[in-house]
Amino acid sequence: MTTPDALVAHLRSHAGDALQAVIIYDGDDHRDLYRRDDVAELHGSDLEAELLADIRTDQGRRESPAATAREGELTATVRLFKKRVIVHLPRDDASGTVVLLDTVAASRLATFVEDIRGDIYDE
């Protein structure tokens, strides 16, 4: 298993300054592995509690063997917002890692979603 410092260094090598935070959770417990200074006030906030509660209750796992056979095991979910990207990497039903990023880290995905929404919804 990768050490927390090595994990953060690896994520920073991919995301650079766009990395906002890395949170690991196990059951009801969670801790920061990294949190950028400008988002430090979110630690322990109602918004963070809401985020972690949403992630814990929405594991996104498929129940049917047919879905698992067709799609494989769930490895991550991505939530793309106008101002932030949330990547959830579940380890099992009770634990995982949450990576918070500036949208620039997923600029291609953000542009794709914006373009498609514009085509579909005239936004």
Rounded to whole angstroms, the maximal C-alpha distance in the chain is 46
The pLDDT-based confidence of 12 (bands split at 50, 70, 90) is: very high
The domain total for the chain is 1
Name the 3-class secondary structure at 123.
coil
Global pTM value: 0.88
Residue whose C-alpha is closest to residue 80's, from 101, 53, 49: 101
Q: What is the pLDDT of residues 60-116, one digit of tens each?
A: 666 788 888 888 888 889 999 999 999 999 988 889 999 999 999 999 999 989 999
Give all strands of the β-sheet with 77-80 in edge-to-edge order. Answer: 29-35, 19-26, 95-101, 85-90, 77-80
Q: Is 85 exposed, middle or buried (0-12, 13-18, 19+ CB in 10 A)?
A: buried
- 60 is in which domain, residue-wise? 4-121
Q: What is the pLDDT of residues 13-52, one digit of tens each?
A: 999 999 999 999 999 899 999 999 999 998 889 999 999 9
Which domain CATH number covers 83? Answer: 3.30.450
